[in-house]
Structure 1
Amino acid sequence: MEFSNILVERKADIFIITINRPKALNALNSETLLELSAAFDQVKEDPTIRVVILTGSGEKAFVAGADIAQMKDMNPMEGRRFSQLGQETFRKAELLPQPVIGAINGFALGGGCELALACDIRIASDNAKFGQPEVTLGLTAGFGGTQRLPRLVGSGLASEILFTGEIIDAQEAYRIGLINHIYSKETLMDEALALAQKIAKRAPIAVQLTKSAIQRGSNTDLDSGLAYEAEVFGLVFSSEDQKEGCSAFVEKRPANFSGQ
């Protein structure tokens, strides 16, 4: 698929997706969502990709939100379909076998914040801003914000952010657990790549099964989550990587993981 609104780049076993609508502060319209969906499909089908980095072009915005120009004249059915498209696209990112790192450079508002929430790990530049300002426009969050934000920061803080529409800075986002780290805007992508490379050196099957267990456990009761953890723990013993990793530890040498 030819991409007009996103850029894709491969650096060894790391796949970088950059939302590239800088004049619109990388706002998400339907075309951009469809391109993101296609890129996520491409990643899912490529077992040689071990980690994904998701970012926005420029220093001003990761994604400033969904495209208001497209939404302002929608009827109820069009609004519902647009919400479903965003939800389905972000869910693809969440369910990728590979870990997804969100490198948040600048504004992550509305749909941008919701896209960040669908990433496994979020790191941000010191000029990043987060928020769900939909209520200031007479809208509700429609790309998963009402569901993922409470799961991440708790219902009280999420409710305050969603009800007021207020924007928080990177320091506050870090304080409430919305992001893992804050870096300068100049070093953000270098730090994202360093983190991705660290993950990519680990056993790919074990990393992917760990992501699967986290996802399953986050949406079920503790006993069901523990039962699933035991299943994936048993499953890794069928991999060559498990044998290589344990042998390397006993033999006091670096492990060489093949992803098999």
Structure 2
Amino acid sequence: MSDAPLLVERLPDRVVATLDRPSKHNAIDQATIDCLHELCAELEAQPRTLILTGAGGTFAAGADIAQLCDRRAEDALRGINATAFVRVGELPMPVIAAIDGYALGGGAELAYAADIRIGSTTLRIGNPETGLGILAAAGATWRLPEIVGHARAAELLLTGRVVHADEAAAIGLVSSVHPAADLLAAAHAIADRIATNDPLATQYTKRALRAPRERHPAIDGELQAELFERPEKQRLMTAFLEKRAER
């Protein structure tokens, strides 16, 4: 539908999902969350790389304050946005966030759920929730420390300070910065590189990366044991050896 809050482009090895509520600066409302759940169900059944981006020079200006204002304790305990963002983060294949312009509050937390984040030169990202009398409860308090370290995350979350593109790159919040016109192409270039690798090895690498510290090194061995028994491992390694012998 033309008025859908999430526009989805499906390609054989990837999906591009664009937050598209231009009149609300792509604020994340319940309809957007519902669309994210539908998309996650699709990508759980048919794993592909996901590129998340926003329309109109904005990633997402935050959660929809008009809806948030009416929510009460039972809504907080349901974890409406948090549950969807966890599902995004746990998708089998990599998630790339291409962040243009503002990514604030819930918009920032959706970006934090991605495996790889890149930004435009106009990037402005942060969590000003405490200024609205709430906390960043959709992943920022545990994902952001994993990304930038505890001390930096504490400073950003407790002050509500918004980070610009250069600082975001310097602290590792995004891995690269691009002109806005080149941002989506840069995201596709990353997806292209991922597509050259074995899909199951990529999925297992992501699973190991997402595993808690106490599961290592056992989980690495378990996943590697499965990969070692696959004909695809033998084929790829044989091809590598043959190519090296030709040099």
**Smaller-chain TM-score bracket:** over 0.9
Note if 1:66 corresponds to 2:60.
no
Pairing 1:168-247 to 2, within 5 Å after superposition: 168-216=163-211, 219-221=212-214, 224-247=215-238
CA deviations 1:82-130 (Å, max 9, x no partner) are: xx12111111111111111010111111111111110000001010111
Partner in structure 2 of residue 23 of structure 1: 23
The two structures have a TM-score, normalised by structure 1, of 0.90
Q: Which moved more, 1:71-80 or 1:24-33?
A: 71-80
Note if 1:13 corresponds to 2:13.
yes
Report SS of the residue matched to 2:9.
strand
Displacement of 1:3 in angstroms is 7.7
Query: Letter of the aligned partner of 1:28 in structure 2?
Result: I
Pairing 1:66-85 to 2, within 5 Å after superposition: 66-81=63-78, 84-85=79-80
Give the unaligned 5+ runs of structure 2: none
Query: Letter of the aligned partner of 2:170 in structure 1?
Result: R
Query: Letter of the aligned partner of 1:136 in structure 2?
Result: G
Q: Distance in 2 between matches of 1:185 and 1:63?
A: 15
The two structures have a TM-score, normalised by structure 2, of 0.94
Q: Which moved more, 1:175-184 or 1:236-245?
A: 236-245
Partner in structure 1 of residue 241 of structure 2: 250
**Which aligned segments of 4 or more residues in structure 1 are displaced greater than 6 angstroms?**
none
Give the unaligned 5+ runs of structure 1: 254-260
Displacement of 1:174 in angstroms is 0.9
Partner in structure 2 of residue 57 of structure 1: 55
Q: Distance in 2 between matches of 1:171 and 1:243?
A: 43
Query: Letter of the aligned partner of 2:233 in structure 1?
Result: Q
Partner in structure 1 of residue 33 of structure 2: 33
Query: Letter of the aligned partner of 1:237 in structure 2?
Result: F
CA deviations 1:179-232 (Å, max 9, x no partner) are: 10000000000110011011011100100000000001xx223xx311111111
Q: Identify the match of residue 93 of structure 1 among 88, 94, 100.
A: 88
CA deviations 1:12-65 (Å, max 9, x no partner) are: 311111111111111111111111111111111114x3x111111111x10110
Q: Distance in 1 between matches of 2:30 and 2:126?
A: 21
How many residue pairs get aligned? The number is: 244
Note if 1:104 corresponds to 2:99.
yes
- The Cα RMSD (Å) is 1.6
CA deviations 1:147-206 (Å, max 9, x no partner) are: 111121111111111111111101111111111000000000011001101101110010
Q: Distance in 1 between matches of 2:218 and 2:155?
A: 35
Q: Distance in 2 between matches of 1:215 and 1:161?
A: 23
Report SS of the residue matched to 1:52.
strand
